[in-house]
């Protein structure tokens, strides 16, 4: 029977996971949006008399992500009512539901160990033949699949969406040597015909293509800014609307991406290159300090241009 995507599980409800679930909803595909169970109550939850066992608390992260989707600008959902295509939950309670879906997309933090642990669980609960992909910005796809079943590896590949998923057309697809050609061909056709993406097939090298080039360019820009004594505002002016880009390609982009995620992505390459390039991929101290302070952009409400 021809492969079909009738329902998807998106694991990780942060900046990208919620945006991908919204993009699926826009084309009429239902999804489960799953995150982890919080281990502390908020003040409001305490006031309401809730406990850590309550479903509302256990599903808090994904539910909150859904609420944000309806308020964000530019709008991730083409219609607010499309939010009903997305069912929030948490992986711990809903793990058996992974057997109901045709495609599982991993969109958790950019950390190999966390992703590997997650895929061990996914391998246990998915039904045979289910597609599994990672939205990693640049961690080795092969390394993530190491130790998983033959069937998992044959149906596993990288599907790297760009931020925001509704608006950026590019999708990098990264198969490994073990990905079945049928799976790569299906994903490419599905992404183009159903999701409306422009697909580029990338090699499984650190940060693939777009981030390998893009992260380098951004970090060199910042290096030159510091050497020349320019300001964040000046750099954004010359890399933004004044030269025909709708938004700045530098600091406003970092606010949208999340500085924490960007630092992980820079590290993907830093760990494997030598010489001058290693210096470039070691971001300046001010960026690391900002991340330590939690000034990581839109998701924390404080970044280069955002103020809490």
Write out the residues near ligand NAD by the rule CB under 6 A.
11-17, 35-36, 61, 91, 107-110, 114, 118, 135-137, 160, 162-163, 257-258, 261, 265, 299
Contacts of 243 (CB under 8 A, 6+ apart): none
Give the nearer residue to ligand NAD in terms of CB position, either 263 or 273. 263
Could you give the CA distance from residue 146 to residue 125 in angstroms, rounded to a whole number? Answer: 17
CA–CA dist 193, 60 (Å, integer): 34
d(CA 254, CA 248): 9
**Smallest distance, Å, CB 32 to ligand NAD?**
12
Residue 185 Cα to chain centre, angstroms: 22
Nearer to ligand NAD, 137 or 153 (CB): 137
- To ligand NAD, the closest distance from the beta carbon of 68 in angstroms equals 11
Q: How far is the CB of 139 from ligand NAD (least distance, A)?
A: 7
State in angstroms the smallest separation of the CB of 189 from ligand NAD: 22
Residue 144: how many CB atoms within 10 A of its CB?
A: 22
Q: How far is the CB of 168 from ligand NAD (least distance, A)?
A: 9
Nearer to ligand NAD, 113 or 150 (CB): 113
Q: Which is nearer to ligand NAD, 31 or 261 (CB)?
A: 261
For residues 176 and 204, is the Cβ–Cβ distance under 8 A?
A: yes
Which residue's CB is nearer to ligand NAD, number 93 or number 182?
93
Which residues lie closer than 8 Å to 250 by C-beta, 6 or more apart?
A: 218, 221, 222, 235, 236, 239, 240
Q: Nearest approach, Cβ of 4 to ligand NAD (angstroms)?
A: 25
Residue (46 or 117) nearer to ligand NAD, CB:
117
Report the candidate in 200, 130, 171 with the shortest Cα–Cα distance to residue 19.
171
- Least Å from the CB of residue 90 to ligand NAD: 8
Q: Which residue is nearest to ligand NAD (CB)?
A: 14
Q: Which residue has the tokens 């595909």?
A: 29
Residue number, 14 or 30, with CB nearest to ligand NAD: 14
């Amino acid at each position: 029977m021809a492969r079909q995507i009738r329902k998807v599980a998106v694991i990780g409800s942060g900046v990208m996971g919620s945006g991908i679930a919204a993009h699926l909803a826009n084309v009429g595909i239902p999804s489960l949006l799953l995150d982890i169970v919080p281990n502390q109550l908020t003040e409001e939850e305490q006031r309401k008399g809730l406990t850590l066992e309550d479903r509302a608390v256990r599903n808090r992260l994904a539910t909150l992500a859904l609420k944000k989707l309806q308020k964000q600008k530019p709008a991730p959902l083409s219609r607010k009512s499309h939010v009903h295509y997305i069912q929030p939950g948490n992986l711990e309670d809903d793990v058996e539901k992974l057997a109901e879906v045709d495609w599982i997309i991993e969109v958790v933090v950019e950390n190999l160990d966390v992703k590997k642990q997650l895929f061990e669980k996914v391998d246990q609960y998915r039904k045979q033949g289910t597609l599994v992909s990672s939205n990693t910005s640049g961690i080795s796809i092969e390394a993530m699949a190491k130790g998983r079943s033959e069937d998992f590896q044959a149906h596993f590949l990288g599907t790297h969406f760009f931020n925001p998923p509704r608006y950026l057309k590019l999708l990098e697809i990264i198969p490994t040597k073990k990905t079945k050609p049928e799976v790569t061909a299906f994903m490419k056709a599905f992404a183009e015909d159903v999701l409306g993406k422009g697909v580029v097939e990338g090699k499984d090298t650190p940060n693939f293509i777009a981030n390998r080039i893009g992260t380098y360019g951004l970090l060199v820009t910042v290096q030159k800014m510091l050497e020349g004594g320019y300001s964040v505002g000046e750099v954004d002016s010359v890399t933004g609307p004044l030269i025909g880009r709708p938004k700045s390609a530098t600091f406003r982009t970092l606010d949208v991406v999340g500085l924490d995620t960007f630092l992980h992505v820079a590290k993907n390459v830093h760990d494997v290159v030598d010489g001058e390039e290693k210096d470039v991929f070691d971001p300046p101290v001010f960026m690391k300090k900002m991340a330590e302070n939690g000034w990581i952009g839109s998701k924390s409400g404080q970044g280069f241009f955002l103020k809490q």
